[in-house]
Structure 1
Amino acid sequence: MNIENCTCVFKLLPGIQRFSSENFLKIARCGINTEYNPKRFHSIIMRIRHKHNRTTAALIFQSSKVVLTGVPNIRLARKMATIVLKRIEFSIREAKIQKFSELGIISLKVTNIVSSYRSMNRVTIELIYQEFRRRHKYDKLFEKITKVSYDPTIFPALRFKMNDDKFKREASCLIYISGRVILTGINSTKQVEYLFDNIILPLLVKFPRL
């Protein structure tokens, strides 16, 4: 599967430290590629542009928590966090705010990975749905699938959730008739590989649309 993007979180200040309202507003005003409208959303939005018109957005909260969305892959998470940190440091200097001695990248972690796959064959997703409803208690292929929904009048894809004792997070998957697959709710590439190899790929192989 191809990783499309990741969501990551980290803090700029340790413990319960936070920016004062005055300093937070100054940082927003002196920011690089930032916008801040507290009436709409209580965070500074900073945009980092990549090649091929891709953008990572950093949501910076007064608590010093930062949420990075649209990170192209896990390897770039720390690089994106470093860019945010350097821009915040620049804003602090420009705003003539007293320097924060403990400003840094604290507790950086990946909270969600969105990955995708394109099967060579179309898929009989309606048959997967029917088989799950009839045999999920007896068929090993379905034992790690916890919930399945399919209503083409509402949404064109089969939606299901997966859980495994090896990983403590429940993942969500969409399978389209075209063979396109989207997997979310995961925070490690190992879980992506495991779920694809042991659940998703066997479903695609067993239920091709002939």
Structure 2
Amino acid sequence: MRNGNDHKNYGNKNIISEKSHDQSESNLKDNSSKIINFEKDIKKDIPKNQLISVQKENIISQNFLDNKRNFDSFPGSLVPFKLVKGNEIIPDVQNVVSTVSLGIQLDLKRIALKARNAEYNPRRFAAVIMRIRDPKTTALIFSSGKMVITGAKSEEAAKLGCKKYARIIQRLGYGHVKFLDFRIQNIVASCDVKFPIRLESLAHAHNQFCSYEPELFPGLIYRMITPKVVLLIFVSGKLVLTGAKERKDIYQAFNNIYAVLCLFKKT
């Protein structure tokens, strides 16, 4: 749903003035930890102060947790956990993030005015936010023609969503839309091992891979090298796996960590 106040501003020729850009940057400082960090081509479109890394030291921050409630434009990565029945545990994919380029420059104000399912507030964020219901996804559309799609539950749904957004843009008068360089950037999954874990002991024994600061965040952050996946491990036995670009890496990472977690099971 569009913001009525935004539409009033569209008539002002100076809406994209230096002053508004300065104000935009100021307003965005508080939201600096709320957006996923993608590859270099996407970084060019998003100011550095708006990114949160899903790699290495910046995988998650307290600022992200504090502000998550106020930033409902993006489907959350830390989603409710689904309990696994039986003895076989398979991580459940919760979010697939993908990127694609349309190969053309876009007029974001025009798109926001013509599309029913879009909103645009350049003072808050330099992209159109568009949503569709099938597959249920959210797209960030940049003036460069690059798109970031999040919220898909599978790789196939992510690609289908990208194509639907591209068709929407095409119907708005951009006849030369292309579908270039589609990539899966991040897969987020969750699971429950069904037993409590001694996080402090795990952090001490695997200190080269772990970061555990319960005063800031209740989960242990485990950075696996092969495959390159980050795991958020909670004392309850619930896990979030993120950073994978292929589903098989999620499964392999869980298989690797499960044997380790069994050694640190609370009795």
> Residue type matched to 1:80 in 2?
G
1:78-157, aligned counterparts within 5 Å? 78-92=159-173, 99-101=174-176, 103-133=177-207, 146-157=208-219
Shift of 1:115: 0.7
Gaps in structure 1 of 5+ consecutive residues: 93-98, 134-145
Q: 1: distance between equivalents of 2:180 and 2:123?
A: 28
Q: List per-residue Cα deviations over 1:154-179 (Å, max 9, x = no partner).
A: 21111121112xx5xx3211110110
Q: 2: distance between equivalents of 1:49 and 1:192?
A: 26
Identify if the C-alpha distance between structure 1 residues 154 and 27 changes in structure 2 by more than 3 Å, giving closer, same or farther: closer
- Residue 222 of structure 2 aligns to a residue whose secondary structure is strand
Q: 1: distance between equivalents of 2:175 and 2:172?
A: 12
Provide the aligned C-alpha RMSD in A: 1.7
Higher relative CO (Cα under 8 Å, sequence separation at least 6) belongs to 1
Shift of 1:70: 1.3
Moved over 6 A (4+): none
- Residue 208 of structure 1 aligns to a residue whose secondary structure is coil
Aligned to 2:152: 71
> Residue type matched to 2:223 in 1?
K
- CA contact 1:157–1:175 (8 Å) conserved in 2: yes
Shift of 1:31: 1.1
Is 2:263 the counterpart of 1:201?
no
Shift of 1:49: 2.6
Shift of 1:5: 0.4
Is 2:248 the counterpart of 1:161?
no
- CA contact 2:186–2:245 (8 Å) conserved in 1: yes
Q: 1: distance between equivalents of 2:109 and 2:206?
A: 53
Aligned to 1:179: 237
Q: 1: distance between equivalents of 2:185 and 2:156?
A: 14
Indicate the percent of aligned positions where both proteins have the same amino acid.
30
Q: List per-residue Cα deviations over 1:45-93 (Å, max 9, x = no partner).
A: 1012358xxx42100001000000111221201110122012112222x
Gaps in structure 2 of 5+ consecutive residues: 1-90
- Residue 172 of structure 1 aligns to a residue whose secondary structure is strand
Q: How many residues align?
A: 177
TM-score, with length taken from structure 2: 0.62
Larger proportion of strand: 1
Between structure 1 and structure 2, the one with the greater Rg is 1
> Residue type matched to 2:163 in 1?
T
